[in-house]
């Protein structure tokens, strides 16, 4: 009702992973499967047993928990989505291409432009006490403090946020990684930039800024904060509530995702090339009035 009637959305609606607790704790699967479709979801994802879920759907149809009209509507929207992506124009041989090659063929200029606009529109300037925009004249020497893009899979090493770093270099800045033996000071730096890509992962009891990791795995360094000595900007490419652990940071931005399009859009915002238009979907100040200043 909210999507269709209030917001006027006419596209396909997809579920999240239907084996997750958000669904399995709500009802028995035999009851939940037809209800998910009947209540407006068009694409049902991540079935642990697809044939059994189809049986649940058929049973729901026979019992009246799911209507043929709702199924027809879902199928129409799925076909419309496929047509929008141009899948109906692919030959049989093209449909059998390896997934990576098929995805590359579907990276059409119009779709990529839409992705850039969506990334730009999502970035939220939560707080700025006078640091932004950045410029090579004022902030040339940038010390970057980051643990990289943290992966939820065990054993997978973090990936650097290279898009931001390369963009800074191309714009005339001189970024360098934080070093425990050479911390930022007024003499060797003009700006401290925190790049945090920590998501609210499943089974994480708490998502927080691990200052010990960020500041060189040293207990004394973990207690230090740099924003009374230097301009500091914190960028979150994942969790939206890091201000609860860094209420005094002078400038804070939520970007929600570390993908390349978002990194490029963040850089344009930092340099003042694009305005910030997004409104925070959550209380990014985490109920702390002190975090606003």
Could you give the C-alpha distances from 88 to 80, 114, 140, in angstroms and in order? 10, 21, 50
Place of tokens 């939820």: 152
- Residue 16 designated active-site: yes
For 90, the token pair is 């692919």
Catalytic pick from 16, 49, 218, 283? 16
Question: 151-181: buried (b, 16+ CB within 10 Å) or exposed (e) per residue?
Answer: eeeeeeeeeebebbbebbeeeebebeebeee
* Residues 6+ positions from 154 with CB-CB distance below 8 Å: none
Per-residue 3-state assignment (H helix, E strand, C coil) for the chain: CHHHHHCCCCCCCEEEECCCHHHHCCCCHHHHHHHHHHCCCCEEECCCCHHHHHHHHHHHHHHCCCCHHHHHHHHHHHHHHHHHCCHHHCCHHHHCCCHHHHHHHCCCHHHHHHHHHHHHHHCEEEEECCCCCCCHHHHCEEEEEEEEECCCCCCCCCECCHHHHHHHHHCCCEEEECECCECCCCCCCCEEEEEEECCCCCCCCCCCCCHHHHCCCCHHHHCCCCCCCCCEEEEECCCCCHHHCCCCCCEEEECCCCCHHHHHHHHHHHCCCCCCCCCCCCCCCCCCHHHHC
**What pLDDT, on the 0 to 100 scale, is given for residue 23?**
86
From first to last of its 293 residues, the chain has per-residue pLDDT tens of 788 888 989 899 999 989 888 888 888 999 999 999 999 999 999 998 999 999 999 999 999 999 999 999 999 999 999 898 787 777 766 666 677 766 666 667 777 888 889 999 999 999 999 999 999 999 999 999 999 887 656 666 778 889 999 999 999 999 999 999 999 999 999 999 999 998 776 666 678 899 999 999 999 999 999 999 999 999 999 999 999 999 999 999 999 999 999 999 999 999 999 999 999 999 999 999 999 98
For 139, the token pair is 């902030």
For residues 288 and 280, give the distance between their C-alpha atoms in angstroms, rounded to a whole number.
15
Q: Where are the domains of the chain?
A: 2-105, 110-292
User: Which residue pairs, CB below 8 angstroms and at least 24 apart, start in 55-64?
Assistant: 56/29, 56/30, 57/33, 59/30, 59/34, 60/33, 60/34, 60/35, 61/34, 63/34
Check whether domain 110-292 has CATH 3.40.50.1700, yes or no = yes
For residues 236 and 267, give the distance between their C-alpha atoms in angstroms, rounded to a whole number.
13
Chain centroid offset of residue 269 CA:
17
Question: 72-84: buried (b, 16+ CB within 10 Å) or exposed (e) per residue?
Answer: eebeebeeeeeee
């Amino acid at each position: 009702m909210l999507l269709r009637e209030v917001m006027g959305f006419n596209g396909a609606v997809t579920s999240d992973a239907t084996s997750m607790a958000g669904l399995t704790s709500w009802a028995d699967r035999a009851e939940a499967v037809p209800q998910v479709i009947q209540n407006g979801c068009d694409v049902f994802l991540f079935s642990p047993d697809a044939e059994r879920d189809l049986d649940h759907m058929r049973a729901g149809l026979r019992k009246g928990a799911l209507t043929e009209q709702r199924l027809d509507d879902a199928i129409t929207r799925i076909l419309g989505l496929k047509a929008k992506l141009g899948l109906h124009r692919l030959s049989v041989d093209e449909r059998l291409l390896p997934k990576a090659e098929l995805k590359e063929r579907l990276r059409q200029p119009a779709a990529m432009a839409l992705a850039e606009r969506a990334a730009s529109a999502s970035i939220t300037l939560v707080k700025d006490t006078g640091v932004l925009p950045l410029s090579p004249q004022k902030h040339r020497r940038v010390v970057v403090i980051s643990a990289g893009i943290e992966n939820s899979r065990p054993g997978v090493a973090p990936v650097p946020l290279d898009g931001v770093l390369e963009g800074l270099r191309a714009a005339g800045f001189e970024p360098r990684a934080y070093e425990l033996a050479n911390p930022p000071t007024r003499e060797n730096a003009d700006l401290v930039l925190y790049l945090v890509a920590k998501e609210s992962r499943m089974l994480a009891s708490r998502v927080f800024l691990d200052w010990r990791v960020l500041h060189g795995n040293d207990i004394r360094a973990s207690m230090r904060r740099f924003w009374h000595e230097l301009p500091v900007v914190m960028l979150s490419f994942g969790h939206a509530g890091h201000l609860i652990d860094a209420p005094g940071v002078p400038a804070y931005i939520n970007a929600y995702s570390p993908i390349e399009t978002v990194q490029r859009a963040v850089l344009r915002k930092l340099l003042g090339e694009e305005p910030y238009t997004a409104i925070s979907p959550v209380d990014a100040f985490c109920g702390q009035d002190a975090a606003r200043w």
